[in-house]
Structures are given as structure tokens and as C-alpha cells.
Chains A and B, each alone.
Chain A
Amino acid sequence: MKLSVPMPVKMVLLVLGTTAFYMYLGQIVPQKEEHPPPPVLISDDMTTEDLVEIGRELAEGKGQCLAACHNIGSSGPSRYPDLGGIGERAATTIEGLSDIEYLAQSLYEPSAYVVPGYEDGMQPMNEPPISLSDDEIRAVVAWLQSLGSTPTVTLETELGY
């Protein structure tokens, strides 16, 4: 007696077997799942130093301040004011506004005061497409303060907006 397997069965077995073999190869190599970097998170217990760090990351990343518009303390061409030493200048730029209030105003209502010699063109940072939250703006203010002065903003600071 000769045992014979019908052709379609053999073919299905070949297809399943080959696929299973390749899938098995895929299972024995190192398995690693890579997750995208988490968005910058601000937790309640952060100190002013932490805020400065986050503010810098925001300015470089989500806030797009540095990539597109501003320089920090370098003399290259810039369409918008240089941010180098802004922490020092901020307190005296507008009479009646403290440095924190002035910086907050520049972020929430950029058109309210435009540095002489520059054009009005900045987007409000709390609106799309940037859409920074209030805490994130606090962090950016802290970072701006740190450029030329000592930051004082905490998460409790009232920005007035």
C-alpha cells in the first residue's frame, strides 16, 4: 500500500510550513518595542531649576522659538530680537511691568509690545499651532529669565493671563 497525500493538501502544508518557519525566525531574534519619547510633562513638585530645563526644551522643540526665529547671544542675522540677556532687560523694558509680567505678555500677547526696529509677527504661544499650556509658558518664562538673570518663576506664580 502506498500512502499518498493529495496535491492541494501538500501545497497548503508547504505554504503554512514555510510561513510558519519564517515567522519562527522572527520570534527568536531579540524582541524590542520602541516607544516614542514621552511629551514633556510638568509635575506639581517641580522646582524653578526644573522649569528652566523644561522651558529650554520647549523653546527648542514644541515652541519652535529657536529653530525658526530667535538667536541667543550670537551676532548672526535674525528676523526677531536676540534673546541673549533678555532676563536682565525684561524688568526695565516696559515701565510698570515686572520682568515676569513682561515676558508673559510677550508670550500671550506678542503684539502688545514690539521691540523697536523689529516687525510684529510672532504668534501667541498659547494658541495653535504651538498651543503651550499655562504651566509650559511658566517654564518658558523661567528659562527666559535664566538668560541673563536668576529665574524666580514657580508653578504658583500668577502670570496674569
Chain B
Amino acid sequence: MYGLNLVVVLPLVAVAGVLVWRRANTLTWLLFSLIGLWAFFKFGFIVPIPQSVATIYLGITGLALVCYASSSRERLAETVQPIVRLIVEPRYRLALAGLLIALPALAAYNVYADLTAPLEAPGFGREIHPPPPTELTVHDETLDMATADNPYLHYHEDDPEAYEQHLENGRRIYYENCFWCHGDGMGGDGMFAHGLNPVPSNFNDVGTLPILQSSYVHWRIAKGAPGLPAGGTPWDSAMPAWEKFLTTEEMWDVNLFIYDFNGYQPRALGQH
């Protein structure tokens, strides 16, 4: 459900319910929040969230919990007293000893897990959408990237028939050239996609086509991976520079088509 791993999430909710029912004290809640959220970020999603993001979330959780525990004298006392009792009172000796063994053991296990994790290429912050040049020359025609727009877009309003024609042409070109990698449904999951790193762009994504101007998409189609600036590295994208195979009109048509297919509008010119 919503990409959540219910096997993990439901028990967590159940434990929280028990804590509410038993009127657990502040310290128990704090510990539960920290451990529960850790488990949630680590195992709670069917598609696991990247380690780096989980670390950010846990850092915020930790900060918030510290703030909460110390936000008034009474609450600080509530938090600290059980710990003091655990250390001072003789009847908790056994629990204390267990804790004194468990904590270093946990740290040791963490080191072990870190060292035995299979080696992997590090997670570079490759720029998915590197900044475009200010000017673009395709087939000896120079465009000002800031103001250029799809020359056939206006047909949508004033000549639906011509628009349909360009769209149809775009569809043909897409399914002749692009769908091998970008996929039938444009989800970036074509039949060759799994062999590629970086993976092909997913045009269904809410954060890809709609936030880009159509001139940007034109730039990416025309210049492909060879035209990527240094920011788009360290891995080379497999995207060909389509200006070598298609005419300018064909590239704008396919541009039109991928927007239309996904029901997105390009980011308008000079839009805020």
C-alpha cells in the first residue's frame, strides 16, 4: 500500500498503540521513536530509500527528540530519572550489566556490518539536469535557450489538424528510435534500460518534463550525452546526439509528442 512495507509498518503501529494504552513514560517514548523511525526508514518501504536520505531523516529525528526531552525542567527530569535509577538502584544491576554489554556489542556489530558490506561504486551526486548553455546551435540554426519554444506548440491552439500531424510524426519517431530505452510507456524502462548506467530518463516523473522548458528538452535530444557539460558526469549517459540522425523538425515533433503523451505542459518561458 502506497509503497509501504506493511510487515514492518503494522507492528510499529501496534507497538505505538500498546505504549499509548499502557501510558508509557517519556523515556520509553523517546527510545521507541528513535528505534521505530530507524526501522521505518530502513525497512518500511518496499523500494528502500537511499541510505543518505535515511541519515538526514534520522539526524532530524535525533535533534527533535533532544529538543523535546529538554524543553522543560519537568520533562528533562522525567527523561533522566529512569536512567539514573537504572544506574544507581541495586535491583537493576542485571539490566545495567546487560546494557553495558549490549551497547559495545551493537557498536561492534555495526563496524562488522559496515566492513562486510559488498563493495559498491560510491554514490556520486551526478547532476541529472545540468544547466543548459545560453545558446544552442542545431543544424546551423542558433537558438536563444531562454526564449526558444517548440515552434509547433502554438498549433495546439490555432491549427489542431497540423498539431495532430506533428504529433503523429513525433509518435512515429519515438517508436522508431526512443522506446528501446525510454520504454513503451515512457517510464524509462525500455528493453535496453537495464544495461544502462545512468538509467534512461523517466518521462512520467512529475519532476522531469514539467519543470523543464521545451528548449531544454530540445537541447538534450539534439546533443545527447556527448553534449553534456562536466556536471552530468562521472558516468557517461548512452543518449545519442540525435541531431546527427534526425532533422530539426523531427526533433521538435518528438519533443511535442513526449509532452503530449504524458499530459504535461513544458515550463513556460520566463515563468516564475
Contacts and interface: CB of A to CB of B under 8 A. Distances in A.
A29 interface: yes
Contacts, number: 13
A13 interface: no
Contacts of B137: 60
A72 interface: yes
Interface residues of A, number: 8
Given A34-B230, A34-B231, A60-B137, A29 B125 contact: yes
Contacts of A32: 125, 231
Contact of B124 (A30, A34, A60, A72): A30
Contacts of B271: none
Nearest to B137: A60
A60 B142 contact: yes
Interface in B143-164: none
Contacts of B230: 34-35
Task: Indicate the size class of the contact surface on chain B.
Answer: under 10
Given A35-B230, A60-B137, A30 B125 contact: yes
Interface in B209-248: 230-231
B114 interface: no
B85 to A, nearest CB: 21
Contacts of B135: 60
A69 to B, nearest CB: 14
B110 to A, nearest CB: 18
Contacts of A60: 135, 137, 142
Interface in B97-140: 124-125, 135, 137, 140
A37 B135 CA distance: 15
B26 to A, nearest CB: 25
Nearest to A35: B230
The 3 closest A-B pairs by CB, nearest first: A30-B125, A30-B124, A34-B230
7 contacts: A29-B125, A30-B125, A32-B125, A32-B231, A34-B230, A35-B230, A72-B140
